[in-house]
Structures are given as C-alpha cells and as structure tokens.
C-alpha cells in the first residue's frame, strides 16, 4: 500500500510497519524478545561498546550477557531495562518500534521518535490534568485532526528556524 492510503486506523497494521532487513536469515524466531535483543545489539555497535564491557558495567558475567544477546538465552525485563538505561535507549520509543511496528530498526526512524515524544507529552498532559481533564467522549477523528494540526505547526516552526539559521549564516 502507498503511504497516501495510510490512516490513523491502519498505521500500525503490519502492511505499514517499517520493514526490518535484519530478520533475513535469523535463526531465532521472530518475537518481541528477539527484536529487543537486536535493538540492544545494534545500539551497542552504534556506540562501539563491546558486550564484555557492558557486562562489566552491569556487574554480570560476560558469558551470561553474550548468551542472552547472541545465543538465545532469556532476556529478562530487569536486564532489558538496565541495558536501556546504560545505552540511553528510550523505553517508549523502543516499545513503539518493537511491539507495535514489529521492527527493531524502526527505533531509529524519525517518525517513531516523533510519535514517542508526542505520546509522552500527551499522556503527561492527560494524567496531570493541569488545565483540567477532558470530560466528554471525543471521536478519534477529532484527536487525529488536532494532532495533525500540531504537527503542521511543528513543521511551520521548523521552516522558520531553518530560515533564520540561513539568514544568520549569510
């Protein structure tokens, strides 16, 4: 399907999920667990941190961490969260990529970054009730339209900032 056919109701369908080239030839079954492991391994590589050094930082046996990340041993939520903290992996963004989009590679997609930050901001506003809680039932279309307008405002602001930077550099 083309992106023009994507709607808020279909965006998380597998046909729209961002593909993951890493799964070709994978020996481990495709699970959330395996996608989290690939995300962690990719981030270790991106930051040039050997698994042995990460194991030392975590105070665990090097062979244990190697077995978890490379040989199919179970990755506990506690260990996953410790790795996320040490590597600076955003939990919300990772969950959107791995659980909803079924792709560890989607973590690095700008749209996933924006979705995660928007979700965190929106949830914070709704949970804190600083300006009062919304008491009426809202149709999804109203929420989608409001968020679309907010996105358009962000793009307009970005254009202004980029233009101001170009003006300053001239």
Structure tokens at 13: 């369908």
pLDDT of the residue at 97: 95
Could you tell me the end-to-end alpha-carbon distance of the chain, in angstroms, rounded to an integer?
Answer: 43
pLDDT of the residue at 22: 47
pLDDT of the residue at 20: 45
∠ Cα 17 44 66 (to 5°): 105
Read off φ and ψ for residue 82, nearest 5 degrees. Answer: -65, -45
Closest CA to 80 of 143, 38, 108, 123: 38
Q: Which residues contact residue 79 at a Cβ distance below 8 angstroms, ignoring those fewer than 6 apart?
A: 58, 68
Output the CA torsion 53→55→61→63 (10° steps).
-80
The segments of the chain whose pLDDT lies below 50 read: 1-2, 19-24
pLDDT of the residue at 1: 40
């Amino acid at each position: 399907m083309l992106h023009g056919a994507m709607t808020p109701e279909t965006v998380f369908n597998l046909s729209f999920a961002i593909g993951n080239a890493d799964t070709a030839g994978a020996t481990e079954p495709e699970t959330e667990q395996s996608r989290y492991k690939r995300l962690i391994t990719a981030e270790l590589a991106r930051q040039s941190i050997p698994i042995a050094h990460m194991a030392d930082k975590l105070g665990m046996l090097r062979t244990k961490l190697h077995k978890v990340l490379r040989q199919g041993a179970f990755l506990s939520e506690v260990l996953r969260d410790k790795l996320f903290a040490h590597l600076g992996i955003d939990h919300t963004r990772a969950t959107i990529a791995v659980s909803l989009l079924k792709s560890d590679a989607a973590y690095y997609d700008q749209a996933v970054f924006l979705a995660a930050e928007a979700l965190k901001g929106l949830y914070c506003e709704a949970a804190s009730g600083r300006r009062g809680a919304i008491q009426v039932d809202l149709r999804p279309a109203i929420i989608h339209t409001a968020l679309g307008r907010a996105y358009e405002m962000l793009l307009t602001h970005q254009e202004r900032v980029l233009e101001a930077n170009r003006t300053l550099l001239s």
